[in-house]
Structure 1
Amino acid sequence: MMMKKIIQLGVAGMSAALLLTGCQFVQAGDTKSEKEFVERDKADSLTVDIELGIGQLNVSKGTDDWFEGEFKYDHSKLKPVVDYNLKGNQGHLHISQERKKFNFGFGKENHTRWDLQLNENIPTELDIDTGVSDSDINLSGMTLEDLDIDTGVGDVTIDLSGDWKESFNVSIDSGVGDTTIYIPKEIGVKLSADKGVGEITVKDLIVKDDHTYVNKAYEDGADVVMEIDADLGVGDIVVTMK
């Protein structure tokens, strides 16, 4: 996919009531700031969907609850919406923006910034979808079961380093912008890259063919494997071990 559809981002509805245990709201000038969190419950796994149409996105581990987030924005239509519900033993967390359709009517300068922290210990299926956004996604040390990252316009850094305990798949679909991916040495990694317009730089990996790269651990038959499927649009990509 060469270009992302960034004109409209779907915001899925949630049937259950909002289960938030804390919200702090302050306003400084025209920029608003909110802090929200989702408390731990009996869930033994999570699905997390993050949808950011415009702004800076930072995602990392770092909370004992299921989620903590600090949101800054300067337009009411960019207000964050955090929904959580529990179905059986699986928790479902959805983070999006107030507006239903994306447009460029928020002025030339945008101050939206999301700093999100997730729990590192609970098995998580994570889906991140951005429109116009520079993103820093540091997932090192988390417990992922599946990862899907879909970006529109902007640069993205994805840190997947660390000693993972279970195998999982990663899907990365980028539109326009440079992509940097850090991969682990400790487990097997297989990267399949469908490159659009731009250069790909792969460091310390074994080239299998024009689209496939593996690390030494994968070549040696590692028990735990991360398989990355990258569909790249316009921009350069750098993949390196960390």
Structure 2
Amino acid sequence: MLRLKTDLNFMQTAGKFVQEIGYDKVKGKGVFYMRKLIVAVIVVGILGAIGIWGYNWFFSGKQVSDILIEKDDVKSLNANIQIGFANVSITDGKDAWVKGTVDTNKKKLRPTVSYKKKGTVGSAVIKQKGKLFTGLGNIRNDWDLELTNEIPVNLNIEMGVSDSTLNLSGIQLSKLSIEAGLSDATIDLSGDWKDSFNADIDLGLGDATILLPANTGVKLIVSKGIAGLDAKGFTSEGKGIYVNDSYGNSDVVIEMKIDVGIGDLKIKLVD
């Protein structure tokens, strides 16, 4: 069950943090990152305040939705997943283009699912109905999805407040985009990749661990605000660019742009 753990004390903690490291150092990160800090403090403060007040917008009850997009004759898939507030698990599968369940106790958080075919490309959109601020109180909203491992997938994931485990190593990614507001995320991109692809990871506030293959060429372009970076096995080329030992010696390359506002980012190479 997902419970909001933040409260108004976060605002005091953030304020003390800025005071301790010095305003000039924070300012030195640039106006862009100051804006991210301010927005993050405001968002978390509002969420905490509403949680304390105990607003509960919906009636409780068990609501399990099955998600199924069956296979057809398309050669590639665009998958767009939009989630406001949830625990999220995504992995690969072979039974359908998309298959899974959403288990929630709020009727208005049940997802909508649409699928269109144009030529040899299928486009799937899976979207949570409720708004972000409807996900407060004693909420259960668990997403468990499988995406096909049989055709190339252009995957876009948008998450507001989430705890996510994204095991994408078995999916034939042609492109990856992940945007998360307030989130703790584990993103597994390890494994044996047959084709190169680009990835954009935008994380506002929270901790993230990204697993990448040691035997595939990897190039990271990292922009970070007030965030810690642990990237063992990578060599810095300056200006936020990091490469592993296989980069330049591998026919397959993963090029990843990572933007982190506040939190700890760990990049791990997996043999």
Aligned-residue offset at 1:107 = 3.8
1:189 alignment partner in structure 2: 218
Q: Which has the higher contact order (CA 8 A, sep 6+)?
A: 1
In 1, Cα distance between the equivalents of 2:256 and 2:144? 25
Q: How many residues align?
A: 218
Aligned-residue offset at 1:204 = 1.3
Verify the 8 A CA contact 1:6 1:132 in the aligned structure 2: no
In 1, Cα distance between the equivalents of 2:116 and 2:135? 31
For residue 204 of structure 2, give the secondary structure of its aligned residue in structure 1.
coil
Match of 1:64 among 87, 95, 100: 95
- Aligned-partner residue type, residue 191 of structure 1: L
Instruction: Write out aligned runs for 1:192-231 (5 A).
Output: 192-209=221-238, 211-218=240-247, 220-231=248-259
Structure 2 unaligned segments of length 5 or more: list them.
Answer: 1-31, 45-59
Q: Give the 3 Å change call, closer, same or farther, for CA 107–224 of structure 1 in structure 2.
A: closer
Higher helix share: 2
2:269 alignment partner in structure 1: 241
1:42 to 2:76 alignment: no
Higher strand share: 2
2:132 alignment partner in structure 1: 102
In 1, Cα distance between the equivalents of 2:90 and 2:261? 22
TM-score by length of 2: 0.76
In 2, Cα distance between the equivalents of 1:89 and 1:79? 30
In 1, Cα distance between the equivalents of 2:194 and 2:144? 26
In 2, Cα distance between the equivalents of 1:228 and 1:167? 11
The list of structure 1 runs, each at least 4 consecutive aligned residues, that deviate by more than 6 angstroms after superposition, is 4-7
Structure 1 unaligned segments of length 5 or more: list them.
Answer: 8-28
Aligned-residue offset at 1:98 = 1.7
Verify the 8 A CA contact 1:173 1:231 in the aligned structure 2: yes
For residue 238 of structure 2, give the secondary structure of its aligned residue in structure 1.
coil
Please, what is the CA RMSD of the aligned residues? 1.9
Percent of aligned pairs with the same residue?
A: 38
For residue 227 of structure 2, give the secondary structure of its aligned residue in structure 1.
coil
Aligned-residue offset at 1:221 = 3.0
TM-score by length of 1: 0.85
